[in-house]
């Protein structure tokens, strides 16, 4: 059999329960895989994202290249968190700095009995603008309107926010994915109204009294080759900022985001915005991850 073999680890991210959350493949010696093959490898595995770990430098512990089955991304949340778990475990780090196409992303890791149980990343601050094809998008989603303005947030990838009336309405969405794909390589984040003060304390969210607000969401990414994403870390920070900008979430507190239940992959993300909504100082997103498989792929 021709070709080299390359080790990889599969993690379920934004969960602590195997076979839930968002699966991710991390190639731990990505520098040995030719760049020309990375997209084909991601397409072969056909997960939401595949990460190739490359050597670090004086500023970063590792460099990551992130691919969906269809394209390379400068930044994405669950690949960065999952990669940080792998790098942190291998090198026994409490804080991992990963170089992405959108800059260096620091991830703080928390352990219990020596095992990493939670990670919190500081995300790139997004740019914000009105989405000029809102009518087409709402028609493709099959909804009459959005509870809040339809706006696009870019922190590497671009996510468009659409507010749905309630959780039941969110659950029965049957979007026209082909029509959404024609809008471009976007994530479409549909969320139900948040419920302040509901939920149990979130790991990494601060003191036991720091009870998070809670919101449910679904994220559709057919233009990136992912019909519906189980957990979208890159959208979680912008969603918290969107809610803060429109008075539905108070900055400084934890926002618990529940995603993926509709496709059998329940996930839990914890986002936080610090500073004024019109000029945030810092946005973090955290969650858990668990290793579910290890293997070798033949390519090159």
Kindly list the catalytic residues: 49
- Which bin fits 299, alpha (ψ -120 to 50), beta or left (φ > 0)? beta
233-245 vs 77-91: helix axis angle to the nearest 10?
120
Helix (H) or strand (E) holding 74: none
CA distance 245 to 281: 14
CA distance 65 to 53: 7
125, two tokens? 């601050």
CA distance 76 to 238: 12
The β-bridge partners of 143 are none
């Amino acid at each position: 059999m021709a070709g080299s073999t390359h080790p990889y680890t599969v993690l379920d991210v934004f969960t602590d329960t195997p076979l839930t959350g968002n699966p991710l493949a991390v190639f731990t010696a990505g520098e040995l895989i030719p760049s020309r093959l990375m997209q084909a490898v991601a397409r072969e595995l056909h997960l939401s994202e595949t990460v190739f770990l490359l050597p670090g430098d004086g500023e970063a512990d590792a460099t990551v290249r992130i691919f969906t089955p269809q394209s390379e991304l400068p930044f994405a949340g669950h690949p960065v968190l999952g990669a940080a778990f792998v790098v942190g475990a291998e090198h026994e780090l409490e804080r991992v700095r990963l170089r992405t196409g959108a800059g260096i992303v620091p991830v703080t890791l928390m352990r219990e009995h020596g095992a990493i149980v939670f990670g919190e990343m500081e995300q790139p601050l997004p740019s914000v603008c009105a989405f000029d094809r809102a009518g087409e998008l709402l028609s493709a989603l099959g909804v009459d309107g959005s509870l809040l303005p339809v706006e696009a947030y870019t922190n590497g990838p671009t996510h468009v926010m659409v507010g749905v009336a309630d959780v039941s309405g969110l659950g029965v969405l049957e979007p026209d994915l082909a029509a959404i794909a024609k809008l471009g390589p976007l994530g479409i984040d549909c969320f139900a109204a948040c419920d302040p003060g509901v939920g149990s304390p979130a790991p990494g969210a601060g003191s036991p009294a720091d009870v998070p607000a809670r919101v449910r969401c679904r994220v559709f990414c057919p233009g990136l080759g992912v019909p519906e994403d189980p957990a979208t870390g890159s959208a979680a920070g912008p969603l918290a900022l969107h809610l803060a900008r429109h008075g539905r979430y108070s900055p400084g507190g934890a926002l618990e985001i529940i995603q993926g239940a509709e496709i059998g992959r329940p996930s839990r993300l914890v986002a936080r915005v610090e500073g004024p909504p019109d000029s945030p100082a810092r946005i973090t997103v955290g969650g858990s991850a668990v290793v579910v498989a290890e293997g070798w792929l033949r390519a090159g």
